[in-house]
Amino acid sequence: MEETPESILSVDIEVPTQTRFLALIGNIAEQIGKDLADAAGDTDTLAYHLNLVLTEAAANAIQHGLPDQPGSTIRISIGLEDKDLVVRVYDHGQGFDLEAVPAPNFADLNERGPGIFFIRTFMDSVDSRKAEGSNVLEMRKASIRTAPAHHVLA
């Protein structure tokens, strides 16, 4: 029996709002990307993009999601819905208007906003909303399939 992508992927993690966990979050995203392939069959590019966008999304959630409050956490869920890879980042901060984030000025390295730019560039759709008392940043990558079995998430 052939495994479908929908039957093999569902990850849900919760981490403290501390930047020291960003590398772990990025590594998890990258390993998941290596177990999948995008529409062109490219696992390496997908893995890199997932690492980048999830690290950026988590950094924003940590920075704005009550980082000074003891016990504060962010939650990340990664799964497949139909053939879309769906990544959701939940935090309890003030939230933001995704449409109000301007394109970054890359000449000014101190400017904020390049994370959302990269997320919009590398994902097929991005949405921000309030749900269940949390801010939710939802990112989707369409037409995902399983990669050859030589990549294993350990």
pLDDT confidence of 1, banded at 50, 70, 90?
very low
Element (H, E) at 53: helix 43-64
- Asked whether the beta carbons of 118 and 53 are under 8 A apart, the reply is yes
For the chain, count helices (H), then strands (E). 4, 7
Output the average pLDDT for the chain: 81
Q: How far apart are CA 114 and CA 111, in angstroms?
A: 8
Q: How far apart are CA 107 and CA 119, in angstroms?
A: 19
Task: For residue range 107-133, list pLDDT tens digits in order.
Answer: 665 656 578 888 999 999 999 998 888
More confident residue, 110 or 83: 83
What are the structure tokens assigned to 65, written together? 């999601």
- Across residues 28-43, what is the average pLDDT? 82
- Across residues 59-88, what is the average pLDDT? 87
- Asked whether the beta carbons of 15 and 124 are under 8 A apart, the reply is no
Q: How far apart are CA 154 and CA 135, in angstroms?
A: 30
Q: How far apart are CA 154 and CA 100, in angstroms?
A: 39
pLDDT at residue number 67: 65
* Neighbouring C-beta atoms of residue 141, cutoff 10 Å: 23
Dihedrals phi, psi of 129, to nearest 5 degrees: -155, 170
pLDDT at residue number 8: 58
pLDDT confidence of 105, banded at 50, 70, 90?
low
Domain spans of the chain, in order of start: 5-146
pLDDT at residue number 152: 47
CATH architecture of the domain 5-146 equals 2-Layer Sandwich (3.30)
Global pTM exceeds 0.85: no
- Across residues 31-52, what is the average pLDDT? 85
pLDDT at residue number 28: 94
- Across residues 57-83, what is the average pLDDT? 86
Inform me whether the pLDDT recorded for 38 exceeds 60.
yes
